[in-house]
Amino acid sequence: MATLTTSSKRPYHIIVFGATGFTGQFVVEEVSRTCNEGPGGTLQWAVAGRNRDRLEKTLVLAADALRKPELKCVEVIVADVAEPESLAIMCKQGIIVLNCVGPYRFYGEPVVKACIENGAHCIDICGEPQFLEGIQLKYHSNAQEKGVYIIGSCGFDSIPADMGILYTQNQFRGTLTAVESFLTINTGPEGGCGHDAMWQSAIFGFADSASLRRIRRKFGHTPLEAVGARIKKRGALFFSKEIEQYAIHFMGSDPSVVRRTQRYMHKEHKHSPVQYMAYVGIGGLFSMLKTLFAGVVFWFMVKFSLGRGLLTEFPEFFSFGLFSKTGPTRKQMDGTSFSLRLMGEGYMSGHDPSQGKPNAKISTEVTGPEPGYIATPITMVQAAITLLNEHHCLPNKGGVYTPGSAFARTTLIDRLNKHRVQFSLKNGQ
């Protein structure tokens, strides 16, 4: 099948699948805000999910929230992950499926399969390395043959980190060899939390970390060459001078996604690979003790099915309020923001990275609104808008890609800068 372009005779540029979900509803709102950014200034779109009534209710809620009554007339497609035929019918109608149905380890694969078989590109907001790497292993060649782009992790996991490293590399005059990132999330007086599905993704991801090692063995990759001085891994818990608070290793998908992008850019474009370590701030002494205690309880309970059952049943209790079944309120979301500081080092132009210590530093930052349900819909929708408008700047062939490998040569960063997710240079050489 030929690579799809926006001239395809399909009724919709974008189909939001899982529109009734906690995240899906905000993706619906974000799509409706960006309608004039579609090809030729318009965007044909529809919502999809397994229940027509709930989809119609989602549209009514979005129409009220944005004061756009016309949203009630957006087309509805009924499709269920458990019914492949319904997925095929959905995929045939769209150029891109924005898949918001998760946890992806449970629901994601049939959607990827249906997209490839029926010629629709697929963008998701998965933060589960097992799923993302497993899909690449299993479907990359099929997607390539069909000219379909399957682009995972286009939410807060992991566009800021993945595109942030490429941005830092572009700003650096010389060879950037290593980056450490420091994430901080600032909540307002109302506090904030993540929705249940994210918590479940974490529980089942940790419980099944052995399958990630199996997938990686099957890839059989040789380790990516470490250019320049080797980056040092910090301790499990430390006080970070960079963000002036205690920090731990970031357990999300960023390191996995960044490494895949760096491998791709090295292999396909001969870019010098960047070593990467990701950390997240956890606050002062009290928060540090609380996180430590919650971490030990989580680590112990996640190993047993009874423990996983309890963790799943009582997210708020076991996460110390970090996750809840109801998710954050709009007020909480409005008061929350994130900052991802990227501290890089390397060798100035004309200096050989194989000789001596790095002689230049750089610091960049990606900032944005509440990560899970404001920034994620923005990055996901802008990824789709970029794919629609700049199809010719993506890799020549379809396939399963990270955001960085798909969008390195596009204007995605410029587009995000105009949509509240800002990339900036703090200190150059």
Ligand X SMILES: NC(=O)c1ccc[n+]([C@@H]2O[C@H](COP(=O)([O-])OP(=O)(O)OC[C@H]3O[C@@H](n4cnc5c(N)ncnc54)[C@H](OP(=O)(O)O)[C@@H]3O)[C@@H](O)[C@H]2O)c1
Rounded to whole angstroms, the Cα distance separating 74 from 229 reads 54
Minimum Å gap between C-beta 11 and ligand X is: 20
| Residue with Cβ nearer ligand X (74 or 360) | 74
* 112 vs 125, beta carbon nearer ligand X: 125
β-bridge mates for residue 185, sequence order: 338
Give the residue closest to ligand X by C-beta.
102
Tokens 């007086």 belong to residue? 189
| Nearest distance in Å: CB 129, ligand X | 12
Q: Where do we find the tokens 């901080």?
A: 184
Smaller CB distance to ligand X: residue 162 or 365? 162
Distance of alpha carbon 422 from alpha carbon 414, whole angstroms: 9
In sign, the C-alpha dihedral spanning 147, 213, 304, 297 is: negative
Beta strands 149-151 and 121-124, pairing class: parallel
- Is residue 149 a contact partner of residue 387, using CB atoms and an 8 Å limit? yes
- C-alpha distances out from residue 375 to 28, 44, 120, Å: 13, 22, 24
* Cβ density class 281-291: b for 16+ within 10 Å, e for less: bbeeeeebeeb
Residue identified by tokens 């790095």 is 358
> Which amino acid, residue 11?
P
Q: How far is the CB of 87 from ligand X (least distance, A)?
A: 9
Minimal distance, residue 256 CB to ligand X, in Å:
13
Distance in Å, CB of 372 to ligand X, minimum: 4
Identity of the residue, 12 or 22, whose beta carbon is nearer to ligand X in the bound complex = 22
Q: Which is nearer to ligand X, 127 or 346 (CB)?
A: 127
**Least distance from ligand X to the Cβ atom of residue 101, Å:** 4
What CA–CA distances, in Å, run from 222 to 226, 254, 319, 367? 12, 20, 37, 34
Closer to ligand X by CB, 160 or 399: give it. Answer: 160
Strand 337-348 and strand 360-369: pairing?
A: antiparallel
Kindly tell me which of 103 and 404 has the beta carbon lying closer to ligand X: 103
Phi first, then psi: what are they for 48, rounded to 5°? -140, 155
Q: Closest approach of Cβ 349 to ligand X, in Å?
A: 36
For ligand X, which is the closer residue by CB, 4 or 122?
A: 122
**C-alpha to C-alpha distance for 345 and 177, rounded to whole angstroms:** 6
Q: How far is the CB of 407 from ligand X (least distance, A)?
A: 16
**Residues within the interface to ligand X (CB under 6 A):** 18, 20-24, 49-51, 54, 80-82, 100-104, 107, 125, 127, 155-157, 195, 197-198, 201, 372, 376
- Measured CA to CA, the distance from residue 420 to residue 424 in angstroms comes to 12
